[in-house]
Structure 1
Amino acid sequence: MSQTLSDLFETLKQAREGYGILDLFPAECDGFDSILDDEVELTPAWWINEERQRRGTGVPVDLGLSVLWSSRNVGAASGELPGLYVGWGDAGGNLTSINVDDYPCSDPPEDIGGSDCDIARERWAETWRLPTRAEMQELIQKCQWRWTVINGIPGAQIIGRNGGSIFLPAAGDRYGTDYEDAYYYGRYWTSELRPDSDEQRQAFAMEFSQMGPEIVPLVRHMGLSIRPVLEK
């Protein structure tokens, strides 16, 4: 099936009204042969932007690294706010249990990035996911970190070699229903389990303070901030 140019515009109009994915077959457009012989699925930018607003998704920021980093935490209305405090593997973001087997189970996978245990993928869709340990390490090693305060919230301004930047609030963490270390530490989950920990109780996180950032293992039931990444 091929579409004329007028048919193409009608398809665009219908997709905008229905907020749908466009399935186009541009084998031929008003008599001009196309090099595309197969079905092409296009998602217009306006639809992506509207869907991101509906989901509360951050803006992808290019720091000159292997992935794009979100401009805000999961659950945050802006870049300086902490958002949700989430246990490792809690895709719903609602658990406050201190039973490690609830995050997400007693025998968790070694990497939950992009899975149904990843709150970033479940809430923001697309290819948003938790960063890996290596991607967090890349953020630490290849960017400049500055401790600063934005709208009264302390945290780290992270500047890439290309001039792009994001802000990570020092939101502390949650242990059960108690909140700790806000304004002094920022703690963010990676997607990776620490497989050699006792009964696999820990996963890797990135922790920072005014002294700088590092990768540390933390108990999976701790509620930490989530800063997703997006595949380029």
Structure 2
Amino acid sequence: MKQIFLKTTFAILSAIIFYGCSQEPYDWSQEKPTVIEVAETTFPIVEKNSFTAETHIESSGKKIKEVKYCLYDFTWETIENKKGVPIKNKEGYYTCEFTNLAFSTTYHIEVIVYSSSSEEPVYSSVITVTTANDYVLKTGDAKNITHTSANISGEFYSETVSPSDINLGVIYSENEDLKGLIYTSNSTSIDGNSFTVELTELKIATKYFYCTYIEQSDGNIFYGDKKDFTTSIPNGTVDLGLSVLWAECNLGANSPEETGNYYAWGELNPKDTYTFDSYLYCNDGLSYDMDWWNYSYWEGLGTYGINIQLTNEYDAAKAQLGDFWGIPSINYVNELIENCDMELTTFKGINGIKFTSKKNGNSIFLPAAGYKDDEPSKATKSTIIEQGTNGYYWSGTGSSNSASDAMSLKLYDGNSEQKREIRYKGLTIRPIYYTFLNNPQ
């Protein structure tokens, strides 16, 4: 008798421990885990301004406390929340009707199920439905795509509504679900049943999602089908997946292997000699043998750590190539170094370094162009020093340690580093295209 009692007690304790630690609630009455699942949601009635949803919910164990229907518009803004009503003689079926809707409009419906033992929902399911319509709204392909603009076409047909009585336009965003930052643009021209929208001030090399829309006088908005396009990049640039685009070749060159021109820091044009005397921003009479590092000898650009990128007076790349172009700051130079693999190579007979992006695999070639220094103690006139061996490229950032120096990118032995150079020297420039002009680094 005692053994039977102990065995029974052990079995009960084992059951409590097993089911108490189970991941699923347990229905003791039917001896199986609780299951609540939305098997299917259908729309038996869909009209121009309303629809009826019908949901079949499979459950066992815990009872269903409530079924809620949440209605969202195309951009996921909440419109209305309603309780589902059980359908008589159809166990596990619930229904809900939404009215005063816009015709030919896509809505999102979230079905949320609550059990009798929890305040939190135990299941939710999302579906979409589009109301009926008495018109046709089509979204056309993007055309005339540039790096900052695109033209979107659309078509609108209706027996009851004239295009002149409504607003036609395009909604577009970088987000595929058209959530978050959304832009709208009204049509620029209407020709019969066709209309065109010009999108401007777009980001370079960026994918946009868009759809056409109409807005009636009563404020109702209806959307067409969704499409996408990607803006291009300017000619002569390479997208390395970085915050700016890099030029294919040096300033003054026509192909990647060409050296291009040499520039003293802050000067807009190349010249014959690169010395203290020939430098525009150096006091007369200063020589290499003097204490040329003294701040007082340098004019205009003598401020420590000054940045000249995107300035009309001192940025040679901007002066020669136009707006959005510029000499890179040292931060962009470092971004290039940190995000690219470097390879010492020869391209069309010219030594240099190939920078291959770790982000997208695109690459640029920087020739080992050397530098010019015509001070008598350094070299003879017109001699290019270290050409074919090393490369020196100006940045737009002055040195924070010396008024006489500016920061540069040095190429050597398949490597690169930032380096201070005296400003009068002639170095090459590899321009960049600022994709975010309002926030240069």
Q: TM-score, normalised by structure 2?
A: 0.40
CA-to-partner distance for each residue in 1:105-147, whole Å, 9 max, x for gaps?
A: 6131611101121110011113110001010011111100000
Amino acid across the alignment from 2:191: D
1:42-191 map, 5 Å: 59-94=236-271, 96-99=273-276, 102-103=280-281, 106-108=299-301, 110-116=306-312, 117-161=314-358, 162-176=360-374, 177-191=382-396
Uncovered stretches (5+) of structure 2, i.e. residues with no partner = 1-185, 203-233, 283-297, 375-381, 436-441
Name the structure 1 match of 2:125. none
Name the structure 1 match of 2:224. none
Larger radius of gyration: 2
Change over 3 Å in CA distance of 1:159–1:90 after alignment to 2: same
Structure 2 CA distance for aligned equivalents of residues 26 and 41 of structure 1: 16
Q: TM-score, normalised by structure 1?
A: 0.74
Amino acid across the alignment from 2:328: P
C-alpha contact 2:351 2:368 (8 A) present in aligned 1:
yes
Q: Provide the aligned length of Structure 1 versus Structure 2.
A: 190
Structure 2 CA distance for aligned equivalents of residues 231 and 183 of structure 1: 29
Structure 1 CA distance for aligned equivalents of residues 235 and 425 of structure 2: 23
Amino acid across the alignment from 1:62: D
Q: 1:151 deviation in Å?
A: 1.3
C-alpha contact 2:315 2:326 (8 A) present in aligned 1:
yes
1:201 equivalenced with 2:379 (yes/no): no
C-alpha contact 2:281 2:300 (8 A) present in aligned 1:
no
Structure 1 CA distance for aligned equivalents of residues 414 and 251 of structure 2: 25
Structure 2 CA distance for aligned equivalents of residues 133 and 127 of structure 1: 17
Structure 1 CA distance for aligned equivalents of residues 197 and 345 of structure 2: 52
Q: 1:171 deviation in Å?
A: 0.6
Structure 2 CA distance for aligned equivalents of residues 103 and 82 of structure 1: 25
Flag the structure with more relative contact order, 1 or 2, with Cα contacts below 8 A and sequence separation at least 6.
Answer: 1
Amino acid across the alignment from 1:151: K
Name the structure 2 match of 1:222. 425
1:30 equivalenced with 2:226 (yes/no): no
RMSD across aligned C-alpha pairs, in angstroms? 2.7
Q: 1:94 deviation in Å?
A: 2.6
Name the structure 2 match of 1:9. none
Structure 2 CA distance for aligned equivalents of residues 83 and 174 of structure 1: 13
Identity, in percent, stands at: 31
More strand per residue: 2
Change over 3 Å in CA distance of 1:175–1:160 after alignment to 2: same
SS in structure 2 of the partner of residue 225 of structure 1: coil
Uncovered stretches (5+) of structure 1, i.e. residues with no partner = 1-24, 43-56
Change over 3 Å in CA distance of 1:209–1:127 after alignment to 2: same
Amino acid across the alignment from 2:251: V
More helix per residue: 1
Q: 1:30 deviation in Å?
A: 2.9
Q: 1:98 deviation in Å?
A: 1.3
C-alpha contact 2:405 2:423 (8 A) present in aligned 1:
yes
Structure 1 CA distance for aligned equivalents of residues 389 and 235 of structure 2: 24
C-alpha contact 2:357 2:363 (8 A) present in aligned 1:
yes
SS in structure 2 of the partner of residue 102 of structure 1: coil
